[in-house]
């Protein structure tokens, strides 16, 4: 059975002008890794902006603030590098989560310079559109699929689909979460395509496990969510699919609503997400926070992960399957 072996594990930075950080994202642009996160006095503070670092060779650049478009808190950046060599950045703004708006920027030089920010869906008042935490995926038919959600009342999850490289988006209906009961919500889907048009997603929830849903029509419609048997602590997860079909899930393997955010695990599935028999815990310190991972493939058998380290730093893990 394949297992994971660590190549590199390090902080992206050791000194910064902001005391707290959270919600990182990572993309591979050719041979350059780009990571982004939100940083400021603390989550929700009006001074929170979007920060970015680039890794060329073996060294990360000093963090630079790439987005601060108003005097409200900024949240949850998401990076995606498209086949046209455009690096996309999406992020949220707003004093509170139910009133988020989504903005987007693009870069043609691997994150060195950026376009002006524009609102993703002008006039939207549903709490944000497009990618809410995890990277979108490019489907076999060319559609860009993003996991989206709303936290106005009981949490709801849906998907946004774009057929024009992220210029415009079409919203699906909310997922059917009947199996969870009325009081439990779902947000922040992470998705994969197992065959052309055959899609699957795992979600964060308040019910103690990761609900799963599947689609047979390129994400236009989705089956009601069901129990994946994967534990969830009501914190963010992310998944990457390797070229051979192996799935790698980064998560906290803890059951509960607002439960502990340690350890941080990367688990492997060789049967399209039915079982997860091989794993490595990359952080294990008790009573600390190692959370909100982002994971991407960076080669045939390699993975890159960024994550929140005690709210003080963003850390980077690079590993391979052996």
The pLDDT tens digits for 93-113 are 999 999 999 999 999 999 999
Please check the confidence at residue 255 and state whether its pLDDT lies above 90: yes
pLDDT confidence band for 125 (50 / 70 / 90)? confident
- 95 to 22, 43, 72, 76, 101: CA distances (angstroms): 16, 10, 5, 13, 10
Domain ranges across the chain:
4-321
- pTM over 0.85, yes/no: yes
Q: For 15-28, what is the mean pLDDT?
A: 98
pLDDT confidence band for 233 (50 / 70 / 90)? very high
Please check the confidence at residue 126 and state whether its pLDDT lies above 90: no
Positive or negative torsion for Cα 321, 312, 116, 125: positive
From CA 226, how far away is CA 249, in angstroms rounded? 18
* Rg of the chain on CA atoms, in Å: 18
Please check the confidence at residue 299 and state whether its pLDDT lies above 90: no
Q: For 185-212, what is the mean pLDDT?
A: 98
Q: For 302-313, what is the mean pLDDT?
A: 98
Range 4-321 classified under CATH 2.120.10.10: yes
Please check the confidence at residue 128 and state whether its pLDDT lies above 90: no
Percent of the chain topping pLDDT 90 = 98
Q: For 2-11, what is the mean pLDDT?
A: 98
């Amino acid at each position: 059975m394949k297992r994971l072996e660590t190549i590199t594990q390090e902080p992206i930075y050791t000194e910064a002008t902001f005391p707290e950080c959270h919600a990182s994202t990572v993309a591979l642009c050719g041979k350059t890794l780009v990571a982004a996160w939100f940083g400021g006095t603390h989550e929700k503070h009006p001074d929170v902006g979007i920060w970015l670092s680039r890794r060329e060779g073996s060294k990360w650049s000093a963090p630079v603030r790439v987005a601060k478009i108003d005097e409200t808190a900024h949240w949850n950046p998401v990076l995606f590098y498209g086949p046209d060599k455009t690096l996309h950045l999406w992020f949220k703004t707003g004093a509170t989560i139910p009133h988020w708006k989504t903005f987007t920027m693009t870069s043609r030089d691997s994150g060195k310079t950026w376009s002006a920010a524009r609102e993703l869906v002008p006039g939207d008042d549903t709490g944000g559109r497009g990618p809410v935490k995890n990277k979108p995926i490019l489907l076999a038919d060319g559609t860009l699929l993003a996991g989206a959600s709303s936290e106005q009342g009981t949490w709801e999850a849906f998907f946004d689909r774009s057929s024009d490289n992220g210029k415009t988006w079409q919203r699906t209906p909310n997922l059917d979460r009947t199996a969870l009961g009325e009081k439990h919500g779902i947000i922040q889907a992470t998705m994969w395509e197992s065959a052309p048009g055959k899609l699957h997603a795992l979600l964060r929830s308040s019910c103690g496990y990761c609900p799963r849903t599947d689609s047979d029509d390129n994400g236009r419609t989705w089956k009601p969510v069901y129990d994946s048997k994967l534990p969830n602590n009501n914190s963010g997860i992310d998944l990457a699919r390797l070229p051979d079909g192996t799935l790698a899930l980064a998560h906290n393997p803890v059951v509960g609503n607002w439960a502990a955010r340690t350890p941080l695990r990367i688990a492997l599935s060789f049967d399209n997400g039915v079982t997860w028999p091989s794993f490595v815990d990359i952080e294990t310190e008790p009573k600390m926070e190692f959370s909100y991972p982002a994971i991407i493939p960076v080669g045939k058998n390699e993975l890159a992960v960024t994550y929140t380290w005690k709210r003080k730093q963003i850390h980077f893990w690079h590993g391979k399957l052996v």
